């Protein structure tokens, strides 16, 4: 996917976007060199350091972007994201708040219990996660907005609700049950 530098979010997973944002705020990236529109960065991860190489065309298109980390779950990794923020910041055109609800790469919701690309740390967090407790912190409107957003990405919940609705409709037609 070819995207313009300020719109890199279109090719970044939401979770990765926010992690990259945190990396930027923690100043984990260091520009090693920059010439002929090619930027080389060293970005400090949780354990290792990775090298990010980015080439941006005159018209802002990201021509080439790579990182030496093992991430391969679709779109750019958090190290590249931290570097993009740094480039934009140095050019005096970074408005972080514009990325707060930015459009991101479509999430995959595989049926597998642990989505591909999740780290061991994420999996440990997942086991501690109490979904009912978390859901109780939302208002009905917030929950509905979340569900509708999810249904736009994945038909499964929509079809499940539709099925439930159809069953209820059928039940209402049966006099013996009313």
Q: Which residues here bind Zn ion, judged by CB under 5 A?
A: 50, 67, 69, 77, 79
SS3 for 115-134 is: CCCCCHHHHHHHHHCCHHHH
Nearer to Zn ion, 21 or 67 (CB): 67
Give me the helix-helix angle, 140-153 and 155-173, nearest 10°.
110
Q: Strand 62-67 to strand 38-44: parallel, antiparallel, or no bridges (unpaired)? A: unpaired
Kindly state the smallest distance separating residue 50's Cβ from Zn ion, in Å.
Answer: 5
Kindly state the smallest distance separating residue 87's Cβ from Zn ion, in Å.
Answer: 15
Kindly state the smallest distance separating residue 115's Cβ from Zn ion, in Å.
Answer: 18
Q: Quick check: 63 and 56 in contact, CB under 8 A?
A: yes
Nearer to Zn ion, 121 or 169 (CB): 121
- Residue entry with tokens 């480039």: 87
Kindly state the smallest distance separating residue 70's Cβ from Zn ion, in Å.
Answer: 8
Nearer to Zn ion, 39 or 79 (CB): 79
Q: Half-sphere exposure (CA, 13 Å, Cβ side) for 28?
A: 25
Rounded to an integer, what distance in angstroms lies between the CA atom of residue 107 and that of residue 73?
10
Kindly state the smallest distance separating residue 2's Cβ from Zn ion, in Å.
Answer: 19
CA distances from 171 to 103, 159, 160, 162, 164 (A): 41, 18, 16, 14, 10
Nearer to Zn ion, 56 or 65 (CB): 65
Nearer to Zn ion, 77 or 105 (CB): 77
């Amino acid at each position: 996917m070819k995207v313009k530098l300020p719109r890199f979010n279109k090719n970044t997973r939401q979770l990765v976007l926010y992690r990259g944002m945190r990396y930027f705020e923690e100043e984990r990236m260091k520009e090693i060199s920059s010439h002929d529109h090619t930027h080389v960065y060293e970005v400090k991860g949780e354990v290792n350091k990775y090298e990010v190489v980015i080439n941006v065309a005159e018209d802002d298109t990201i021509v080439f972007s790579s990182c030496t980390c093992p991430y391969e779950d679709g779109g750019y990794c958090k190290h590249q994201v931290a570097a993009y923020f740094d480039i934009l910041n140095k050019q005096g055109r970074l408005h972080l708040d514009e990325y707060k609800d930015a459009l991101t790469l479509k999430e995959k919701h595989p049926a597998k219990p642990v989505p591909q690309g999740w780290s061991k740390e994420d999996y440990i967090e997942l086991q501690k996660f109490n979904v009912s407790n978390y859901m109780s912190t939302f208002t009905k409107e917030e929950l509905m907005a979340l569900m509708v957003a999810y249904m736009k990405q994945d038909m499964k919940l929509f079809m499940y609700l539709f099925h439930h609705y159809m069953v209820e409709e059928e039940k209402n037609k049966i006099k013996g049950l009313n």
